[in-house]
Each structure stands twice: as structure tokens, then as C-alpha cells.
A and B are shown apart, each in its own frame.
Chain A
């Protein structure tokens, strides 16, 4: 068995934000290690800081304290534009609230990251992904014309178009009925398996969390020590 390659590493990460009366610390002393190709779930109550942590790991934001590495890159030391470059090349992101651009069609939304990265066959890749998420007929629909689940699937297709090494998904099936949610989860794990993508997802859904190899439980900005967390240390 090969020694697993560390893909994502956070060391003593803290995040505080400015609020009207002083500053508020929303993440405290978080450390984690995620190996390449692993699937990891982050669970916890609403407001516990899951989305915030995800944004730090993905390099959308920088921590107030501590270090975050994506591959060999020290994200906490890079500028906004340098991190953008890394995101373009390595990271896919499915947002909690989809965040499709309302003035672009489904297909255009999907191909956007590929076009930004200068990928040549963006369109054919996009059409292929549309097929995989079962929305071939909706290619030229605008987000406002799509249902919530359809938008979520478009968002997932968008996250995969650059064939990222790591995919972050924030509650990918939260707004969906059970059947559609199931379909989307299957899709995520299928892509994870086929492309060897590292998968980090936030969820309230225990079934989904259980499908992941490991779980981190959050509470009030800290990790709770739970059993499943030990697996990585052992393995």
C-alpha cells in the first residue's frame, strides 16, 4: 500500500471577523489533514463554522491565524490573485446556495471556469457534463428557468469541468428531495471515484456523511473528537 499523499492540511487555523462591536472568532484552533483521493465530510450544527472552514481550505479566504496547505501551496501566504490561479487549476466548488450567474445559460455557467482557465474544448466538456447530470435538454436555460435541484446539478457540473484535484461541496443536497439528493450524491462519489478527486463536503445528512471515508464534527467553531476522526490517524 502506498503511503497516502497529503492533499489538504490545516494547522491551528483560526478565523475571526470584524463585527460592529469588536471582533468575533468563528473558528478556533482547527487542524486537519486530508489525503489525496479521500472523501471527507464535515458535519455540525447550523452556524458552527462549516462553510467558513470550507472557504479557508479552498483558498477563498485566508485564516486569521494558522496555516493552510493545498498540495505544496501555502494558501495562507498567497495573495488573492495567486489563490485564484490555484483555484482555477485545482479546485472545484459547489456552493450552498448554488450561485449560478443569472445572465448566463446552464451550459455557459458550466463552461465558465474552463474558459477562465483557457481550456480549449470547454463546450464539448460542458455538454458531456450536462449529459452526466441529466440536463442535456436544459443547456440553454437560464438559472431562473431551472428548479432548485436542476440548479444544484448545474453547479456540480460546473465544479467538475476543470477536472479539479479537489472538490469542495457545501450542502450539495440540502435543498433537494430525497430522490434527487440521492442522485446528486451518487454523481459526486462517481466522479470522485472515476477521476480520483479529493472530496470535501459539508452536510447535515447522516447518510451522506456515512458514505464518506471520514467525518469531522464541528461545534461552535471547533472540532469535536469523535471516533471516525481516528481512522485517518490509524490508516
Chain B
């Protein structure tokens, strides 16, 4: 029987505001978590897929032993695609010329991810598309000049003859190192046997490429893991890309910023639920007086909450998933072969958030409602908005729980939570003192002003609470607006417009002047020249370093120690390097070296250690005078070891430089290759494009959060005003019967909200500025600058937002004729 009563009450109550506010608040919470987590996951998987494109597969197994076809067969069982690939260095012979090259032999399935682009030409920008076929070799552009070849010429590799089939335009898994190695050649794996290059003891890297659904891959990997020999191991996917860490930071920021929006929404739900409960106290007392038990009441009002929760969960999940799908479409524009993946995680995370908000914010007032005593029927209804302390505690706990859930870090969540709590307490006290201190007389002679102030003072604690939520809401909107600009700015600064998108490597001393002339005639601006000397680290404090046993590891360990390193000498510390201990070379530094911090850690090198290098057969030693942090995100030449100029200056060096080339001028690259065949050109244009694409996505996500926070803030306002509705009705009725005119009441109302809004705006501005200054210093390493726009925008926003929303909700009340108002009030 309670069900039909519950249903009827629910249906009628929908016309009043509170249930909708709760529903909308939960909807916002669920929707934002689903969409934010979904979008971040989308961008992340886009990044994974992008790096998969750079390895031409989802997973790569490296081996120094010939292929084990058993593995390939197993992959098939798990629905995982596979491809084989061999790589070795060998000499190419063309008539009377020869050249060392890195040969990669691939099968027909290659590449599993990304695209291989070949052209039947010696020019990467013209010519027909070509297909990799047995009997043909495809060469990197510079090899055509080095060996004086054209397409169709014949070429010897090992014991076989090949025909030059074309030029490699894009090899997805070519090494990304700015210091490429030997020129690259592609061949079909079926031709390898005939060359007789594979001999016992020859250094051949075997690779198995695998691709498939994540779940299948994981199962396959688990199955294969125990079968792997010491010669086989999985290649780590390169997550240290230019954007990896920027994105990681972005994800945290997104979720935490989103969380603040959720907290606001939850506050709105809590206020609305309290209000709902308060408004129903009398009804519950009556129903109880008529014989209902507490359990019955609980069922009735619990079902109201349940219906609202189910409804908003459903809508939130649908809306969130729609947003995710939209974002996935967006990502597809930047990564053409991006495969959108459906994931349950955002959905359950969203539902969990919704449930936590509902139980810890909204359920408590409903629970308390059921405890109303029947005798309350004889008492005056409570119209004053009262803060429930226990609810404050459960609410706070819920906020902290969500912080923990989203950040995944206990310490961070506790810190953040305490910070928020202190802020809130501080605000509360300030607000209360401020309202208390304002003497009605200070509002001038206007009696409307006096009434407004009196109203503010009378609802002192409720108003202080309102003030906090308004302030927080405005603060968040402001903070996010400015931070967003700063974050985006920072990312764009990393890859500014016109940042070098081509690197030139292997430039000799003599070529520098030719290159300078070339740059001048074609109006290209060259970056500065970095000298490079190839050398080997021999020992640390006379302790011999173990030589790497097999050559296959070399590309994985970005600098295999014991193999050749790129050494440079510089007098000045490079821009995006930061000395973390020791100090940078002084002008008269003698025999010193500065080492990159991660490498230092890996090799256990500390300040003052003595490093011995071998360079072109000569030995030299240097003591470590500084350890540097290098920003690997910057697309600039970065060095593990920098020696003091006195050490290396006499050694013959090659140079690296970079330049920006506008789209459409790629034919210059061919000219450059002709002019200086030994110089390698490395293009990072694609990477930059994709980074920009991802920055766009993150920007959209940020704007999205801004919208959510604004909505949530508005919702809090609506809930708060609704909470005072009844009381206001009563007062208005009395004032009206006492003869107050419409204009007077209107002015008083507007003034009240304008004052509240102004105060909230000022608080928010101060908070936002303080936060921005901290973030600027700590995160962006920028100098202190005040945000002048903030100082007028904040208070103005507060006044406009609060007044508009207040007015929008209360203007109705003013219009109700006095008699009708009186009657409504009398009927409770």
C-alpha cells in the first residue's frame, strides 16, 4: 500500500523544484564522470595507438634467436594478428660503390599498425605508390645519392642481387632518434635466406609484431609469458613521447577539476534534499499521526530518492557516453586509423559517483525525515534552513572518498581535502563576521537596503553557508577559466608555431657554410648548431662497465652504455635543461662533464665521479660537475652527456641543427639531400600535428569541465534559493499585508542578492588569484603576475550570477497577490 502513496506523492512533488534539483545534480555528477573519464581514456588509448603506429604493432617481442613458429600459431588461437621482422646491418654494393645500411626484412602482414608508404621513385614527394615485393629493395632517400642509384638499378646485398624498387616515404616503426643510424633499407623477408647473411653468430634482431583487441592480447601475453626464453622479451612501448607526460598531467587535472564540479553538484543535491525533507516534515508528522510507522515513511521517501537516483543515473550514463562518442569522432580526425574502444570503466565509475553522492549527500536528510515524531503536527513548522552537522561530516567524507577514487593517491587526496576544509572554515568565519559587522545604517538611507541587510543578517549561518558555496562555485569557474588558458598556453609554448619540424643530422664542419647559404637562398631560419662527437663511456671511477652482451638491446636502451654515445660540448646550459645538483661549467672549467639525471641514477653516478671516455681511439676522463634534468618533451636535441668545451673542442665533430619548413615546400628536402647526401633529414612534422590534435582534444575537455562547473554552480544557487523559498513566502505575505509596495520589495530582494553576490565574487577572486599564483610558480615556473582581468571579472560575475538566479526564482513570489500568498502560507 505504501507504494501507491509513495508514487502519488512523488508524481505530485515533481512539480515542486527539489526533486529536479537532486536529479539534475546527480545527472551532472554521473554525466561528468562518465564523459571525463571516457574522454581521457579515449585520448590515452589514442596515444597508445599512436605509439603502436610507431612500432607498427600493439606489442613487439624481440628475440636474438630465429623465429619460433609455435608462437605465431598460438597468437592465431587468441585472435591476435602477427607479423615477423628481421633487422641487421649490412653492406650494399652498387657497381663500384658501397654503403653500410640497416636492412629491415618484413613479411606481407607488415605493418600491423600505422601505414607503410613507398614510392616508385627516388623522390619522396613525387611518384606512384609502390608495394613491397620480393626481389626488390626500397631505400631511404639519401641512399640514392650516396650510391648514385635510380629506380630499376640493380644492387647487391649479401649473396643476392636485387632491383631498386623505390623510396621509403614513411616507415612507421623507423627509430625516432634524432641521431638516426645508418641509412635504412626495406626488403621482403622471403629474400633473406638467399642473401646468406644469416650465419651462426651474425647479429640479427628478430621481432614478432602482434596486434589485436586488448583483452585478446592480454590473454595471449599471459599464455606466452612462461614459454619465453632469456633471448626473448617484450619491447617496452615508448610512453616517453613528447606528449606522454603532458597528457598525464592533463588527465589528473581534468579529473580533479571535474571532481570539484561534482562536489558542487553534490552540495546542490544535499541542500535540495534537506529542503525537501524540511518541507515534508509536517506531512510526515501528519502521516505518522494517522498511523504510519517509521519504516513505512522510510519506504515512501526512500522510493522517491531511489526513483530520482535511477533516473539521473540512466540519463547521466547516456549523456556521458554520447559525449565520449563525440570526442572519439573528434580524435578520429587527427588519427585516421584510431579505433574507438568501448569501455565499461567510465560507466561504473560514473554510477559509483552518483550513488556515493546520493547516499552520502541526499540520503541523510531523507533518513532523518522518517524520524520525525507524530507530535510535530502540533508544532510550528521549521522554515529556517538548518545545517545538519552529521550530514556535513558524511558529505565531507564523501568528497574525500571521491578525491581518493579519482586521484588514486591517498596522500594527495588527504592533502587536497584538508586544504579545502581549511578554506571552507576560513570562508565561513569571515563571511559570518562580515555579515555581522555590517550595521544596517551603513546601507545608506534606503529602507530597501536596510531590509536587504536585515535579511542577510537574520539568516546569518545559512547565508554564510550560501556564501561559501557561491564563492567556491565562482572561484572554480574563474580558476578553471584562467588555468585553462595557462595550460593550453604552456602546451603550445612547447610546440610553438614555427617550431623546428625538421632536424638535420651529421653535418660536417665544411657543410655548415653550404647549409647556411642554402638556408639563406631559400629563406629558411636555421636553429643553432650543436656539435656532436661519437664516443664510448669506458669506466666510472676506474670500474670497467660491463659490455652489453647482445646487440639487439641497443635501440631499446636509448643509450646502451658501452656502445657509442653522442657527446657534445657546450659552454652554456641548454634552455630546457635544469641543473639539479652541482653547478654548470664555469668559464674556466677543466675536464668536467654534466650528466642527465635519469642516466646518472641508472648508472649510479654521483657528483665528483670520474668518467673515462674513448673517442676515436683516444681516451679522456672528466669529473662529474653537475647533474641535469632534461625536458624530453621538448622537440629539441637533448644530450645525456655534455662535456666542458676544453675537452672536446679539438675532436672532429659533426653538427646537428633544425629548421621550420612550411607545408608544401617538401621538395626542398630533396634538393638538400642532393646537395649534401651524407646529411640525414628527420621530420617530426607528423608528431607535431598529432600533439596539436591531442592538445585540441584536451582543450575541448577543459571547456567541457568549465561548462559543467558553471552548471553545478548555478544548481547550488538554485537549491539554496529554493531552500529559503517558504520562509520568504511567509515574510513577503506579512510585508505585503503590512502594505509594502512591489517596487520596495523588489529593490530589497535585488539588493540582498547583489550584496551576497558581490561578497562571494570578491572571496572567489582573492582565492582564485592566490591559487593561480601558486600554480604559476609551482607548476609552470612562471614569475608572479597579477591577473587584472580577474579583479573586475570575479566580483562582477558574482553580482550578475547570484542576482540573476535569485531574481529569476523569486520574481514569481513578488507577483503573487498578497491575499493568495497569505492563504498559501497559512495552509503550511
In the complex formed, the residue of B with least CB distance to A56 is B375
Answer whether residue A88 sits at the interface, using C-beta atoms and an 8 A cutoff. yes
| A60 B377 Cβ-Cβ under 8 A | yes
| A104 B290 Cβ-Cβ under 8 A | no
1/0 contact string of A93-105 vs chain B (CB within 8 Å):
1010101111110
CB contact under 8 A between A101 and B283, given known A80-B294, A84-B288, A84-B291: yes
Contact segment of B3-11, B388-396, B773-781: B3-11
Across-interface contacts of A87 in B (CB, < 8 A): 289-291, 374
Answer whether residue A113 sits at the interface, using C-beta atoms and an 8 A cutoff. yes
How far does the alpha carbon of A83 sit from the alpha carbon of B374 in the complex, in Å?
A: 10
| B373 A80 Cβ-Cβ under 8 A | yes
Across-interface contacts of A51 in B (CB, < 8 A): 378
Answer whether residue B159 sits at the interface, using C-beta atoms and an 8 A cutoff. no
How far does the alpha carbon of A117 sit from the alpha carbon of B5 in the complex, in Å?
A: 12
Taking CB atoms and an 8 Å cut-off, the chain A residues in 54-71 that contact chain B are: 55, 58, 60-61
CB contact under 8 A between A55 and B8, given known A60-B289, A116-B292: no
Across-interface contacts of A115 in B (CB, < 8 A): 1-2, 4-5
A residues bordering B, Cβ < 8 Å? 51-52, 55, 58, 60-61, 80-81, 83-85, 87-89, 91, 93, 95, 97, 99-104, 108, 112-113, 115-118, 143-144, 158, 162
| A93 B290 Cβ-Cβ under 8 A | yes
CB contact under 8 A between A88 and B291, given known A103-B9, A115-B1: yes
Min CB distance A141 to B, Å, is: 13
Overall SS of chain A's interface: helix
| B293 A89 Cβ-Cβ under 8 A | no
Q: How many A-B residue pairs have CB under 8 A?
A: 91
Across-interface contacts of A112 in B (CB, < 8 A): 5, 287, 290
CB contact under 8 A between A116 and B5, given known A61-B373, A143-B827: yes
How far does the alpha carbon of A60 sit from the alpha carbon of B286 in the complex, in Å?
A: 10
Across-interface contacts of A89 in B (CB, < 8 A): 291
Answer whether residue B13 sits at the interface, using C-beta atoms and an 8 A cutoff. yes
**Which of B287, B290, B375, B824 is A55 in contact with, Cβ under 8 Å?**
B375
Q: Which of B1, B290, B295 has the most CB of A within 10 A?
A: B290
Taking CB atoms and an 8 Å cut-off, the chain B residues in 380-412 that contact chain A are: none
CB contact under 8 A between A116 and B296, given known A80-B373, A95-B377, A104-B8: yes
Across-interface contacts of B377 in A (CB, < 8 A): 60, 95, 99
| A116 B1 Cβ-Cβ under 8 A | yes
| B378 A55 Cβ-Cβ under 8 A | yes
In the complex formed, the residue of B with least CB distance to A54 is B378
- 27 example contacts (A-B, Cβ-Cβ < 8 A) are as follows A58-B289, A61-B373, A80-B288, A80-B294, A81-B293, A81-B294, A83-B374, A84-B288, A84-B292, A88-B292, A89-B291, A91-B291, A99-B282, A99-B289, A101-B9, A102-B283, A103-B8, A112-B287, A113-B291, A116-B1, A116-B290, A116-B291, A116-B292, A117-B291, A118-B1, A144-B823, A144-B824
B residues bordering A, Cβ < 8 Å? 1-2, 4-5, 8-9, 12-13, 282-283, 286-296, 373-375, 377-378, 823-824, 827-828
Besides A103-B13, A116-B292, 11 more A-B contacts (Cβ < 8 Å) are A80-B288, A81-B295, A87-B289, A88-B290, A88-B291, A103-B8, A113-B290, A115-B1, A115-B2, A116-B5, A162-B291
CB contact under 8 A between A104 and B12, given known A60-B375, A61-B373, A87-B289: yes
In the complex formed, the residue of B with least CB distance to A59 is B374
| A61 B1 Cβ-Cβ under 8 A | no
How far does the alpha carbon of A54 sit from the alpha carbon of B13 in the complex, in Å?
A: 32
Min CB distance A145 to B, Å, is: 11
In the complex formed, the residue of A with least CB distance to B296 is A116
Across-interface contacts of A61 in B (CB, < 8 A): 373-375
**Which of A58, A97, A116, A144 is B287 in contact with, Cβ under 8 Å?**
A116
Min CB distance A46 to B, Å, is: 14
| A84 B373 Cβ-Cβ under 8 A | no
| B374 A104 Cβ-Cβ under 8 A | no
Across-interface contacts of B290 in A (CB, < 8 A): 87-88, 93, 112-113, 116, 158
Q: Which of B5, B289, B291, B827 has the most CB of A within 10 A?
A: B291
How far does the alpha carbon of A108 sit from the alpha carbon of B5 in the complex, in Å?
A: 9
Min CB distance B374 to A, Å, is: 5
In the complex formed, the residue of A with least CB distance to B5 is A115
Across-interface contacts of B1 in A (CB, < 8 A): 115-116, 118
The 8 closest A-B pairs by CB, nearest first: A88-B291, A103-B12, A61-B375, A113-B290, A87-B291, A115-B1, A81-B293, A60-B374
In the complex formed, the residue of B with least CB distance to A104 is B8
How far does the alpha carbon of A108 sit from the alpha carbon of B782 in the complex, in Å?
A: 67
Across-interface contacts of B827 in A (CB, < 8 A): 102, 143-144
CB contact under 8 A between A99 and B286, given known A60-B375, A61-B373: yes
Min CB distance B508 to A, Å, is: 89
How far does the alpha carbon of A229 sit from the alpha carbon of B287 in the complex, in Å?
A: 34
How far does the alpha carbon of A80 sit from the alpha carbon of B377 in the complex, in Å?
A: 14
Min CB distance A26 to B, Å, is: 11
Q: Which of A55, A60, A81 has the most CB of B within 10 A?
A: A60
How far does the alpha carbon of A108 sit from the alpha carbon of B12 in the complex, in Å?
A: 12
Min CB distance B679 to A, Å, is: 83
Min CB distance B687 to A, Å, is: 63
In the complex formed, the residue of A with least CB distance to B371 is A80
In the complex formed, the residue of B with least CB distance to A88 is B291
Min CB distance B370 to A, Å, is: 11
In the complex formed, the residue of B with least CB distance to A144 is B827
**Which of B9, B292, B823 is A104 in contact with, Cβ under 8 Å?**
B9
Min CB distance A211 to B, Å, is: 25
Min CB distance A199 to B, Å, is: 18
How far does the alpha carbon of A83 sit from the alpha carbon of B292 in the complex, in Å?
A: 10
